Amino acid sequence: MSIVIEKPTEIASTVINQMSLFNHEQVVFCNDNETGLKAIIAIHNTILGPALGGTRMWMYNNEGEALKDVLRLSRGMTYKAAISGLNLGGGKAVIIGDSKIHKTEALIRRFGKFVNSLGGKYITAEDVGISTKEMEYVKMETDYVTGLPESYGGGGDPSPVTAYGVYMGMKASAHQVYGNDSLSGKKILVQGIGHVGENLVKHLTEEGAIVYINDINQERLKEVANLYKSEVVLGDACLDLDIDIYSPCALGATINTASLERLKCAIISGAANNQLEDENLHGRMVMEKGIVYAPDFLINAGGLINVYSEMHGYNRERAMNQATHIYNTTLDILKTSKAQNIPTIEAAKAIAEKRIAEVGKLKLTY
Ligand code: NAD
């Protein structure tokens, strides 16, 4: 989609058409010439509660790309909250720009004012390119913010909780495939060893898994390989490894037609959002290859669980306990998928949609 300023009716029809495709409720375009802020806030669904989702700052090639990303991510948040039993809807925001160059206090605070103007319908948090530091600036302009540093009564970095949830989802997948959930001796590739990936490597090596690590950042590879017993695999050669489990923990869309031709594994279970390049096509392709795929929005929900806990008086132990439930939910979904011969992503979406429909009906009564 290209934005043509001279033809505003064309923009409107294109944007609203895209919104109606997945039934988004509201999309807010934000602009401020003084600070250079250009942002989009997407609210997908607020049946279960306010739409909560992080703000991503990224140098998108064009506005159409940013819109596509925010629509896709906000819908994923609806599923993530619903399947995790949280009383939250799905939303997300993107700020168009290079976080290393364009991120200023004024720009972030101006963004906070836009969040505030929605009166609590959207609650923000950090995401790629945005840290807890920026959430302090947002907090200066609105109370509709989570993911604050511990010094502000927040939960701080949510990555350890996310990694623990992914670990739970991976163990449940192992139980489904091997009959027990031990990861000891299993060959596991962790692709992307950032905040979540490193914490996951810690759990896996502690349990005695044989861990391969891959990242585009050479320094990170050295650091993590020094800290935990793991083998570095450079470049996309990692996709040709003979492994038991592939754990995508970098970017989305790494499960696609090309990678599925190369991947030799029994399980895919990782932290990245939107791992399937095409939800329908690749969800089914994974199943037909006999690979068990633990749905991303389910097993990476630890971060959301963590910020949700913040809204009710932060308690890390409670957040970790709640993330433990990811194990049983994953197991239920994998069993349903097998029994009904449907892709795991379909089984997971059906459970989330059922909860939204049922709880939505409750709200009709006083
Ligand atoms: P991060 O930025 O700390 O780490 C990402 C790592 O991936 C970096 O080390 C980066 O160098 C590496 N990477 C980037 N492109 C790569 C490529 N092509 N090949 C290999 N490595 C590559 O991010 P994070 O917080 O660890 O999050 C990882 C993923 O999990 C992201 O997709 C994020 O959206 C998702 N996620 C994170 C959380 C959380 O709590 N942090 C919660 C839910 C989902």
The CATH number given to 159-354 is 3.40.50.720
- Average confidence (pLDDT) over 357-365: 88
Token digits for 343?
Answer: 């892709």
Output the ligand 1 site: residues, CB below 6 A.
128, 158-159, 162, 191-197, 214-217, 220, 249-251, 271-273, 300, 303
Equal fold, 8-75+88-147 vs 159-354: yes
Q: Is the pLDDT of residue 108 over 70?
A: yes
Dihedral sign computed on CA atoms, order 191, 197, 198, 203: negative
Q: Is the pLDDT of residue 7 over 60?
A: no
Q: Is the pLDDT of residue 342 over 80?
A: yes
Q: Which tens digits make up the pLDDT trace of 213-247?
A: 999 999 999 999 999 999 999 999 999 999 999 99
The DSSP letter of residue 183 is -
Q: Is 349 in the active site? A: no
Which residue of 300, 305, 308, 320 sits with most ligand 1 atoms within 8 Å of its CB, as the best mutation to test the pocket? 300
Catalytic residue among 80, 92, 121, 139: 92
Q: Which tens digits make up the pLDDT trace of 194-206?
A: 999 999 999 999 9
Q: How far is CA 199 from the centre of its chain?
A: 16
- Average confidence (pLDDT) over 314-335: 96
Main-chain phi, psi angles of 145, to 5 degrees: -145, 140
What three-state secondary structure class fits 343? coil
Task: Give long-range contacts, CB 8 A cutoff, 24+ apart: 313-316.
Answer: 314/153, 314/154, 314/155, 316/155, 316/161
Residue 12 binned pLDDT confidence (cut-offs 50, 70, 90) = low
Provide the residue ranges of all domains of the chain, joining segments of one domain with +: 8-75+88-147, 159-354
B/e letters for 183-196, b = 16+ CB within 10 Å, e = fewer, are: beebbbbbbbbbbb
CA distances from 66 to 33, 42, 46 (A): 19, 11, 22
**What is the secondary structure of 194-244 as a DSSP string?**
SHHHHHHHHHHHHTT-EEEEE-S-HHHHHHHHHHSS-EE--GGGGGGSB-S
**CA distance linking residue 259 with residue 277, whole number of Å:** 10
The CATH number given to 8-75+88-147 is 3.40.50.10860
- Average confidence (pLDDT) over 307-329: 94
Residue 3 binned pLDDT confidence (cut-offs 50, 70, 90) = very low
